[in-house]
Structure 1
Amino acid sequence: MNFYAILVAAISTLLVGFVWYGPLFGKAWMAETGFTEEELKKGSMVKIFGLTFVFSLFLAMIMQVLCIHQFGPLGLIGGPDFIETAKPSYAAFMADYGNAFRTYKHGALHGFMSGLFLALPLVAVNGLFERKSWKYIFIHAGYWTVVMTIMGAIVCGWV
């Protein structure tokens, strides 16, 4: 795992969030949730941003598995602890394909697909049961799709 890429990818969620829920869709989001600026200032920002960063680290870690194909063969041998005892076919495979598809563009593609096929359904199901509008659902799902696209690019391309 590239811990620098994970750290930068986690930070990207906060940076995108400042823009997404600020100048881009802040007013629409507040209207859909019923929040006012005064109400938003009442929360513990340390707690909110701290836990957001921790959860973003979790997401960045799993994004590597979703975006980097080499995690598949590594999982098949049992993980990093078993590289030394793996069959020669693992070493041969990694010699041939060790850096295949390790680009920012490829990571962005997998990140986008993760946003579309993971984040959108998760946000939509919750939104439907909470009786939220489609506007609300698309604001949140759009944020996560953009974030996961950026995170995928960072964790896959940063070799």
Structure 2
Amino acid sequence: MEFNYLAVLVAALVTLLVGFVWYSPKVFGTIWMNETGMTEEKAKQSNMVKVFGLTIFYSLMLAFILPALTIHQMSALGMIGGPEFIETAKPSYAAFMADYGDAFRTFKHGAFHGFFAGLFIALPITAINALFEQKSWKYILVNAGYWIVSLTIMGAIICGWE
């Protein structure tokens, strides 16, 4: 099973596209600005090259780990030590891959795992930080919702795109 670098790259760009819609004033942008104390003037002072550059970098990090969370066959590959050990793996690995090599490799299944990664990883991390920062539940739900939607779409792309 080849690692799909193109799917990872495309999935990483999802955070920008979802963020563009999610944080627009017509969706949740106004709520987010109110909850963070952000203003238009303050936003314009940001170094946008830095912000978007690091966003892409961190999104690539997320997309790079998602195959391990969304593609079951990656676990089987990990059990034998990685791609370099396919030729020397026991026959049971080849039999497993022959039987299940494409099982659960769908956009729907990837979205399922991406959603649960958002719900059980992104939401708790966002909520814990926000609680210590004394942020509101609106803040938590807007930001965690963004990650749940982003990871759902990212998981779908990575798992479904063979």
> TM tier, shorter chain?
over 0.9
Query: Match for residue 40 of structure 2?
Result: 37
| From 143, 152, 155, the counterpart of 1:152 | 155
Give the percent of matched residue pairs that are identical in Structure 1 and Structure 2: 67
Query: Match for residue 21 of structure 1?
Result: 23
| 1:121 partner SS | helix
1:136 matched to 2:159? The reply is: no
Runs of 5+ consecutive residues of structure 1 not aligned to the other structure: none
| 1:6 partner SS | helix
Q: Give distance in 2, aligned partners of 1:66 and 1:110.
A: 7
| 1:58 partner SS | helix
Q: Give distance in 2, aligned partners of 1:156 and 1:126.
A: 30
- Matched to 1:65, the amino acid is A
1:104 matched to 2:107? The reply is: yes
Query: Match for residue 10 of structure 2?
Result: 8
| 1:62 partner SS | helix
Runs of 5+ consecutive residues of structure 2 not aligned to the other structure: none
| 1:131 partner SS | coil
> How far 1:102 moved relative to its partner?
0.2
Q: Give distance in 1, aligned partners of 2:79 and 2:31.
A: 46
Give the superposed CA RMSD: 0.6
User: Pairwise mapping of residues 52-131 of structure 1 onto structure 2 (< 5 A)?
Assistant: 52-131=55-134
> How far 1:82 moved relative to its partner?
0.9
Q: Give distance in 2, aligned partners of 1:75 and 1:129.
A: 37
Q: Give distance in 1, aligned partners of 2:4 and 2:130.
A: 34
Q: Give distance in 2, aligned partners of 1:109 and 1:38.
A: 39
> How far 1:38 moved relative to its partner?
1.0
Q: Deviations over 1:85-127 (max 9, x none)?
A: 1111101100110000000000000000111111100000000
| 1:132 partner SS | coil
For this pair of structures, how many residues does the alignment match? 159
Q: Give distance in 2, aligned partners of 1:116 and 1:12.
A: 17
Q: Give distance in 1, aligned partners of 2:40 and 2:18.
A: 19
> How far 1:135 moved relative to its partner?
0.3
